[in-house]
Structure 1
Amino acid sequence: MTINGRVSATPESSADKISRQASLLSAQLQSIRERIYEPETSKTLKTFTSKDVAALLGIAESTLRQMSLDGESAIPDRKDNGRRIYTLEHIGQLREHLARKRPGEALEFLPRRREGDKLQVIAVANFKGGSAKTTTTVHLAHYLAIQGLRVLAIDLDPQASLSAMFGYQPEFDVDDNETVYAAIRYDDRRRPIREVIRSSYFHGIDLIPANLELMEYEHETPQAIAEGHGRGDGIFFRRLAAVISEVDADYDVVLIDAPPQLGYLTLGALCAATGLMITIHPAMIDVASMNQFLAMMSDLMHVIEDRGGVLNHDFIRYVITRHNPNDGPQINVVTLLRSLFKDDVLAPAVVETTAIASAGLEKKSLYELSRGNVTRDTLNRALESVDAVNAEIFRHIKEVWGR
């Protein structure tokens, strides 16, 4: 551009500016990840002490020590000071060994599905930002895996927050056709779901990561409906359930981190789910938003049922998150929700705590956080809160399994 005989630079367009800033931020996030996870530049899980393992298994620490001395089951590693340390994989081996050794207590040691038990598919949903949807999903996944269950986590949100919690940066680590979109797309590039499932660093959890290509499903579904992809398992709201059924025997629980909007992906998650967890931050503006979410979801569910969809969830529960039990307005909101929805609101709530915020900075759950990151009391209070919520959800799962 020439102004008064002088050449000036062409102004940067908004699209170019945002693209440049996105690239800058992406490169910086990659650099931060490499520093956090060095030297491997990928996530690893902490180890567990004998005391931790004994508490998880419900046995005496002396029994665990004797098993180690006798060479029974998993042999722990040792630190330089001679203390035994166990990986989560070691704990899984111990669970299987104790379940065989004490058949009367097998379900306590290894509470996996038995023959005839239905795969539990739990969708975690809300379209209000800040409701801790992904935080709830990742903590539940980690908790269930620590209890010995086989978990498949599906990141259905194009923003890929759950994938990031498992150590994946979507633009670097998740290529084209490597999300669940690959298994539910409508064209000839469709892949079996097993091909997009990844083992994670967290023993017992597999992951299907996300990236922006999931938005393609939202764009393509209306055209697919118009072209006749509207019958049987091929209809958009049954496609996710159909591909999950292909790996039914491999898992005990499938967790779906649903997108924060009621699009075709979320409707697929609702139809695939056997249980629904709705996260809610107890502030009046969040409750008002959830009211619109529930109204829209109800309308769309009726449309799906009219098209032959079946929506009979084993349980629907509301999870209070980021709760400050000393905040008067929050207490009033929680009281309102409990008076309206009764037992559908989980009795325990996840408290607002710096421990979860500190863990999030490192893309960790509380179950991965070292005790040096926050004070012991802060971490213990946070764990007590999250454990109580996850134990209640696990109880609902076991009730479905008739236990």
Structure 2
Amino acid sequence: MAEVSKPIHINSRIRENAESLASALEHHMLKSFAPDARKELRLFSAGEAADLLNISASFLRKLHFEDRIPDVHTTPGGRRHYSAADLTTIRKMLEENAKSPGAYLKGRREGDKVQVLSFLNFKGGSGKTTSSIHTAQRLALKGYRVLAVDIDPQASLTTLFGYQPEVDFLHSGSIYDAIRYEDPLPFSQIIQQTYFTGLDLAPGGLILQEFEHETPTALRNNIQPPFYARMAAALQEVEADYDVIIFDCPPQLGYLTMSALCASTGVLITVVPNMLDVASMSQFLQMSADLLDVVSGAGARMEFDFLRFLINRYEPSDGPQQQVVAFLRQLFGEEVMTNAMLKSTAISDAGLTQQTIYEVERSAFHRNTYDRAVDSLNAVNDEVEALMQKAWGR
């Protein structure tokens, strides 16, 4: 007679699985990074530096030859390598001698409003975090002052910056502390400086889920400001310090996402080009419109400089994906971004060590694979930069 299986106490089993996974992840981090180490940004080649400074490689060599810029790290073979701090110094020196203001420092000028960009979709796996962190890093490398805000309780963006949100920000120190209904902290107190020059982080964490739970009670008690205005109100303290603020939103249309939308000047909806994802996005857009109508009627600001659909994890050789992209372009026209973020093993491989393409060395990958991924990301992020510049009237 077959033995009857014993019932599983699901709460205990889930807790065991959670503890096992947490331990394994900590072990993986210790293998990737020393216990007391913080992530550091790599150096950039002369070609990469010239691209980020928007000058030619020959002009960069000329600047060194004429001693117009400080010397940088040079290998025994004579190759120069530049840190992000070096790029900032050189960019400022170039700007001082530029014929027109803003030629090299392209951030905000007097009268320009801070650009607040939300990356969002209803469906998980659409590349929101990958898109938002690469955009934040590319803009920082190009001289913009960037704040990345992680409002996803899963806190993947925070993890990519080298933190352990389930340990570092389990009870305090996350964005939740700045938007909570009882005794919120000044936004400046939760901002973390990162290893990326010009890029700060407002961390996420599991405690952010409390905002979703507390908001219905706050609405009944008429606590001010209401949920949709709390993010914008909190950001006012620090927005003068940044050119662009980037939200990585959770894969749900909750109070956190709506609070980010109500603070935003631009929206980027990530979409993987297959019909299931497009069908899910259709539902997401309808729900968004209905809910935003409600908060707009309550007094929320609903004016954006731009809204774009960002094609993500795109495989140009995939016939069905090509058809879906053509369908979206026919439907939404210029609201679909010209450039798509390609699906690449380089991006996923970099993620194994919690890094991005901009952080890993080119030598760690097959050259063509790496270049293809970087070119794709640069094209997307430079298109985002152009949208920001247009919003500033340039």
How does the TM-score come out when normalised to structure 1? 0.92
SS of the counterpart of 2:363?
A: coil
Residue equivalent to 2:286: 295
Per-residue deviation at 1:385? 1.3
Give distance in 2, aligned partners of 1:179 and 1:39.
Answer: 22
- Pair 1:179 & 2:174 matched: yes
For residues 224-235 of structure 1, what are the structure 2 equivalents within 5 Å?
A: 224-229=218-223, 231=224, 234-235=225-226
1:97 is aligned, of 93, 98, 120, to: 93
Structure 2 letter corresponding to 1:185: R
Q: 1:40 to 1:179 in 2, by over 3 A?
A: same
Which range moves more in the overlay, 10-19 or 235-244? 10-19
| Deviation digits for residues 69-91 of structure 1 (CA, Å, limit 9, x no counterpart) | 66544431233545332100110
- Conserved 8 A contact 1:35-1:41: no
Q: 1:170 to 1:91 in 2, by over 3 A?
A: same
Residue equivalent to 1:213: 207
Per-residue deviation at 1:52? 2.2
Structure 2 letter corresponding to 1:294: L
- Conserved 8 A contact 2:170-2:206: no
Residue equivalent to 1:316: 307
Per-residue deviation at 1:163? 0.7
- Conserved 8 A contact 2:170-2:207: no
Q: 1:73 to 1:191 in 2, by over 3 A?
A: farther
Per-residue deviation at 1:392? 0.9
Residue equivalent to 1:24: 20
- Conserved 8 A contact 2:266-2:305: yes
SS of the counterpart of 2:393?
A: coil
Structure 1 letter corresponding to 2:360: L
Structure 1 letter corresponding to 2:135: L
Give distance in 2, aligned partners of 1:40 and 1:354.
Answer: 30
Q: 1:63 to 1:385 in 2, by over 3 A?
A: closer
Residue equivalent to 1:7: none
How does the TM-score come out when normalised to structure 2? 0.94
Residue equivalent to 1:117: 112
- Conserved 8 A contact 1:73-1:97: yes
| Deviation digits for residues 117-142 of structure 1 (CA, Å, limit 9, x no counterpart) | 11000000001111111000011001
Unpaired runs of 5+ residues, structure 1, are: 1-9
Residue equivalent to 1:198: 192
Give distance in 2, aligned partners of 1:309 and 1:112.
Answer: 27
1:152 is aligned, of 147, 159, 164, to: 147
Give distance in 2, aligned partners of 1:394 and 1:34.
Answer: 36
Structure 1 letter corresponding to 2:316: P
Structure 1 letter corresponding to 2:49: V
| Deviation digits for residues 58-105 of structure 1 (CA, Å, limit 9, x no counterpart) | 33445434544665444312335453321001101110111002242x
Number of residue equivalences: 389
Give distance in 1, aligned partners of 2:257 and 2:209.
Answer: 12
- Pair 1:128 & 2:123 matched: yes
1:164 is aligned, of 159, 164, 183, to: 159
Q: 1:341 to 1:60 in 2, by over 3 A?
A: closer
Q: 1:59 to 1:336 in 2, by over 3 A?
A: closer
Structure 1 letter corresponding to 2:129: T
Give distance in 2, aligned partners of 1:127 and 1:213.
Answer: 20
SS of the counterpart of 1:107?
A: coil
Structure 2 letter corresponding to 1:313: F
Residue equivalent to 2:3: none
Give distance in 2, aligned partners of 1:61 and 1:349.
Answer: 27
1:48 is aligned, of 22, 44, 48, to: 44
Structure 2 letter corresponding to 1:217: F
Per-residue deviation at 1:310? 1.5
Give distance in 1, aligned partners of 2:180 and 2:52.
Answer: 41
Unpaired runs of 5+ residues, structure 2, are: 1-5
SS of the counterpart of 1:277?
A: strand
- Conserved 8 A contact 2:84-2:197: yes
For residues 324-335 of structure 1, what are the structure 2 equivalents within 5 Å?
A: 324-335=315-326
Give distance in 2, aligned partners of 1:377 and 1:11.
Answer: 52
Q: 1:129 to 1:249 in 2, by over 3 A?
A: same
Residue equivalent to 2:365: 374
For residues 228-247 of structure 1, what are the structure 2 equivalents within 5 Å?
A: 228-229=222-223, 231=224, 234-247=225-238
Give distance in 2, aligned partners of 1:250 and 1:113.
Answer: 10
Residue equivalent to 1:33: 29
- Conserved 8 A contact 1:34-1:41: no
1:75 is aligned, of 71, 91, 109, to: 71
Structure 1 letter corresponding to 2:72: P
Q: 1:103 to 1:26 in 2, by over 3 A?
A: farther
Give distance in 2, aligned partners of 1:250 and 1:29.
Answer: 35
Give distance in 2, aligned partners of 1:133 and 1:397.
Answer: 19
- Conserved 8 A contact 2:160-2:355: yes
- Conserved 8 A contact 1:120-1:275: yes
**Once superposed, what is the RMSD of the aligned Cα atoms?**
1.7
SS of the counterpart of 2:270?
A: strand
Give distance in 1, aligned partners of 2:306 and 2:154.
Answer: 27
Per-residue deviation at 1:50? 2.3
